[in-house]
């Protein structure tokens, strides 16, 4: 496991900083190498997650459980304000989904820049991770070549590191998550080295596992056409924080079971049907649902579109397709 972690750190550094090396200034060669390194990094992340998952004891499902209350925040209910008030009208918008980005706790919010937005070089006082929901986003060192991340892509930004953020698209949205607050924008004069390395994973380089590759998905007759999971960060073991993407195929009906007291999910792509009593709520991209205890969530996707959700949770999850 130590070797895997070392490789992740090394590869993420190369992917981010390749353009700073004189030997790789040739654009086409540079981009090919960046793509190769990104794919290698994604593969190592998946292998790391899969090795931990396979060694984790499968959670025992009780015959019945008392479902913890669920909180649902629809995309239409999110209220936006200026992410960086000091920039006035040039500031992108941000809508807090959970937590308080001005407080000290962990927080998730929706980043909403204007088409063509590009920030000046800056740093943040805290590290964050992001997933593109719509449009395309570039987040990198000011001297790096542009690496536009489309919807479904994932990146991390270490605290203290100088970077720029740019966006294209009339409705660009990204989900941003921090583990501590407040979330502040600071000038490059206050830059510092946190020891963390940034990661950019294009959606095409995500490594998806189906029921044949992880025990987080209950077996189905055809695993390749069933749900899939991509492990993004953290330790997918008992009571440890981790982040995953779950891909539900078109027409999916089933359950998502969380066992621990920390669980929150954001719809990234498509529409999610969430059943409450005898009613089904439709959750559009940016919508969020969470619980502070064990719960079996009854979920579905539209007949003609798959649905992706990002989950931040502790410990293991189980996705169970309906057999009806």
The distance from CA 312 to its chain's CA centroid, rounded to whole angstroms, is: 8
* Straight-line distance from the first to the last Cα atom of the chain, in angstroms, rounded to the nearest whole number: 40
Name the phi and psi angles at 83, rounded to 5.
-70, -40
Is 272 in contact with 279 (CB distance < 8 Å)?
no
CA distance 194 to 15: 18
Report CA-CA distances (Å) from 164 to 107, 158, 182.
21, 12, 20
Confidence (pLDDT) at 192: 97
Confidence (pLDDT) at 77: 98
Name the phi and psi angles at 37, rounded to 5.
-65, -40
Q: What is the pLDDT along the chain (324 residues), one digit of tens a residue?
A: 444 433 444 444 444 444 333 333 344 444 544 555 555 555 555 555 554 444 444 444 545 788 999 999 999 999 999 998 888 888 899 999 999 999 999 999 999 999 999 999 999 999 999 999 999 999 999 999 999 999 999 999 999 999 999 999 999 999 999 999 999 999 999 999 999 999 999 999 999 999 999 999 998 767 778 999 999 999 988 789 999 999 999 999 999 999 999 999 999 999 999 999 889 999 999 999 999 999 999 999 999 999 999 999 999 999 999 876
CA distance 269 to 134: 8
**What is the value of pTM for the model shown?**
0.83
Confidence (pLDDT) at 84: 87
CA dihedral 198, 204, 207, 212 (to 10 degrees): 170
* Residue 301: its H or E element: strand 295-301
Confidence (pLDDT) at 216: 96
Question: Residue 108 has what DSSP assignment?
Answer: E
Confidence (pLDDT) at 45: 52
CA distance 175 to 131: 5
And the tokens for 97? 């989904």
Look at residues 287, 300, 306, 324 and name the one whose alpha carbon lies nearest to residue 228.
306
CA distance 16 to 157: 11
CA distance 201 to 310: 15
Look at residues 132, 117, 113 and name the one whose alpha carbon lies nearest to residue 202.
132
CA distance 304 to 313: 28
Is 16 in contact with 198 (CB distance < 8 Å)?
yes
Report CA-CA distances (Å) from 283 to 209, 233, 290.
24, 24, 13
CA distance 172 to 251: 27
Confidence (pLDDT) at 14: 42
Report CA-CA distances (Å) from 177 to 22, 72, 174, 213, 281.
34, 18, 10, 28, 24
């Amino acid at each position: 496991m130590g070797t895997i972690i070392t490789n992740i750190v090394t590869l993420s550094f190369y992917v981010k900083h390749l353009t700073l090396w004189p030997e790789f200034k040739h654009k086409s060669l540079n981009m090919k190498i960046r793509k190769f390194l990104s794919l290698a990094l994604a593969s190592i992340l998946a292998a790391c997650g899969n090795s931990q998952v396979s060694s984790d004891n499968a959670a025992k499902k009780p015959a019945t459980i008392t479902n913890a209350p669920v909180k649902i925040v629809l995309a239409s209910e999110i209220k936006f304000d200026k992410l960086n008030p000091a920039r006035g009208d040039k500031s992108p918008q941000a809508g807090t989904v959970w937590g308080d980005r001005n407080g000290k706790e962990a927080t998730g919010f929706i980043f909403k820049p204007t088409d063509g937005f590009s920030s000046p070089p800056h740093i943040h006082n805290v590290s964050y991770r992001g997933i593109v929901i719509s449009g395309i986003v570039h987040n990198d060192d000011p001297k790096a070549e542009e690496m536009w991340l489309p919807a479904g892509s994932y990146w991390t930004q270490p605290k203290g590191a100088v970077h720029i953020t740019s966006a294209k698209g009339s409705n660009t949205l990204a989900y941003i998550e921090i583990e501590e607050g407040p979330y502040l924008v600071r000038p490059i004069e206050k830059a510092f080295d946190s020891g963390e390395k940034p990661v950019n994973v294009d959606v095409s380089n995500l490594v998806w596992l189906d029921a044949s590759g992880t025990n987080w998905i209950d077996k189905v007759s055809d695993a390749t056409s069933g749900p899939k999971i991509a492990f993004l960060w953290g330790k997918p073991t008992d009571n440890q924080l981790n982040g995953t993407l779950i891909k539900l195929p078109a027409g999916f009906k089933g359950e998502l079971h969380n066992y621990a007291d920390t669980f929150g999910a954001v719809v990234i792509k498509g529409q999610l049907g969430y059943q409450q009593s005898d009613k089904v709520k439709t959750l559009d991209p940016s919508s969020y649902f969470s619980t502070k205890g064990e719960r079996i969530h009854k979920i579905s996707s539209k007949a003609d579109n798959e649905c992706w959700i990002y989950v931040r949770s502790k410990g293991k999850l189980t996705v169970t397709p309906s057999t009806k």
